[in-house]
Structure 1
Amino acid sequence: PHGATELACGLVPPAALLAGFVANARALWKRIRWELVLLSLIFILAMIPTAGVFRWSFRWLPLFHLVLALCAAEASALFSAKQRRFAAALMLVLMLVFIIASFLLRTAGDQLFPLAWFYLGLVFAWAVIESLPSNFLHEWTPAAVTFAALLATYLCLSTNCGVPKYNLAQSLLKPQPLDPQRLYFSVYPPPENFYRVEAKPGPVGQIVRPGSTSMWAGLRFLNGYSPIRPAGVAREFVSAIHGEVDLSLAEWLLQQQAGEEGLLKRIGIDGIIVAREFNFAPQPAGEWELAIESDEGRVFHRRGNAIATVRSVNFFGQNSVAHVSD
């Protein structure tokens, strides 16, 4: 919705670096060529998915901003008074071009204004100060404009843009009505679509415990929130970031692997939660009992006492399962 406005980097660094290449290209390249290589590499990484927690490429942006600021500082150090005025004028022209282009390409969005007015005012003030006779303001203006531009970005753009909100009640701090002695496998739809306040304004999660809300009450769940996803669970159960598992796989597990010799029993799962949106149940029916039913979902418990804690498990059945008996 705000078209990567954060890449403005406080307005001054991009303008200073561009002006540096126009005015002192050869000297600037000799001075910061390796920094520019690093900047280009980070720029590419910020546009593609990478490994681990950096699969969300926006996490490269802080480093991009830092390297860009360092490169711009080196470029500014080479400026004469005339070149500083050129940098300010260049930024003013670029701002006007970008605003016009955003309207022509229909990428302005709902938040272009008043942010664009703040940016234009800052750049105009920068250009005016640079046109004045040399004084102490020349040294402080780039830093002041950068700070003011970033502050305007923070004030004008939502800090919670696109992030879902959930109505999570204080009752989630208590385990009831679930059993803390059991290991649960919860089957629920993507929370960001089905449990956000726009979809369900009332309290959610007392039964299905989406994400990591189970941990608040000391409950034991196989699946939960993880931005990097635990390798074993993610691979075997195709679980997503918020803990929801692949629906077809979940149905197969409950229908084919919930019995005495099934995978769920070998893992130690003796509780299954199925959200109200789904109509399947664990099989065979004689091994499970419906313990709880509410508007949010159904809770099934394996008949008998809770299974002892499992210390190790082998998915391929080559080794016996070790139980803790004391």
Structure 2
Amino acid sequence: MTTPALFEPLTLRGTTFRNRLWTAPMCQYSVEKRDGVPTDWHLVHLGGIARGGAGLVVAEATAVVPEGRISPWDTGIWDDAQRDAWKRVTAFIRSQGAASGIQLAHAGRKASVYRDWSGRGVVGHADGGWTPLAPSTLAFDGLADPTPMSQEQIADAVVAFGAAARRALEAGFDVLEVHAAHGYLLHEFLSPLSNDRTDDYGGSLENRARFLLEVVREVRRVAGDEVPVFVRLSATDWKEPEGWTLDDTVTVSQWAHDAGADLIDVSTGGNVADATITVGPGYQVPFARAVRERAGVPVSAVGLIVEPAQAEDIVAKGEADSVMAGREFLRDPHFALRAAHDLGADLDYWPAQYRRGTWAARPAAL
């Protein structure tokens, strides 16, 4: 039997992923103590997806500093208590045969907001919020006016990403992903729509990419030679030609690869509220294909990938090296096992406790 392309292993540096159907990082906003320490929710949420057959399970956008959280309910990796709490999550994921990843993040001007079910808009200082940092004074529509970062604060943030990477490795994560998409801090520096600086971190593409590349180099230094480092980029602001463009993404993907990134996790949008986005099944896949073909770097594709045949087609055609699904794993944590059945893949990692539930094990009468 021919193994479907989606279930062929993929090796990046010292890590081999058992398949190419991965979990996209998805914010859970579930740290009720607001201390950044992951909880039982994160163990069950991420562990269930690992049990369900995913090749890589990536934890949500996890702040490298307290003010880098999107909301006060986000996870963090800026102290040792958080590191130690993540250990049981990575241990369980590993016990299920999946690799674990963490998305290292700083929310920039989109920080200090309520989660959807607790309120709307900005969390004020009286309720535990803070003033966000950003490249410039330019605010995201409807959110607080940010404080522009000094060059010293930028340097401190690079160090914070490195320290977070070290703690993540100590916590047992197999993959480190730098979040530079969706309008958060590193994306804000990349895009001229959110960066009007006139110093070494603004103006030209080289200057706007400087912060990201410094972070990638620092994370690679901490990671060493064996740990894969990913970078998530929004391939477009959906505001061309004045915003961040696919051409910019191709160039910066090459630079990031040279700086130590092994794979570009290609998404789009998130930096401005008035973008017009045409959404449909696989709507972001063409951007991933373009980065893979033009930059010559491995990529992962995202964007309403909900059917096994759809995911298989993306990988089999060489549009991406892997597929990251988000909402489908929320609907069905066993999406990877279901995809294996639908595509005729014979897996040896069905959980023993669940084998009676496999389609092949059903009694004929049923």
TM bracket, shorter-chain basis: under 0.3
Kindly indicate which of the two structures has a greater share of residues assigned to helix.
1
How high is the TM-score relative to the length of structure 1? Answer: 0.24
How high is the TM-score relative to the length of structure 2? Answer: 0.23
Larger Rg: 1
- Considering Cα pairs closer than 8 Å and 6+ residues apart, tell me whether 1 or 2 has the greater RCO: 2
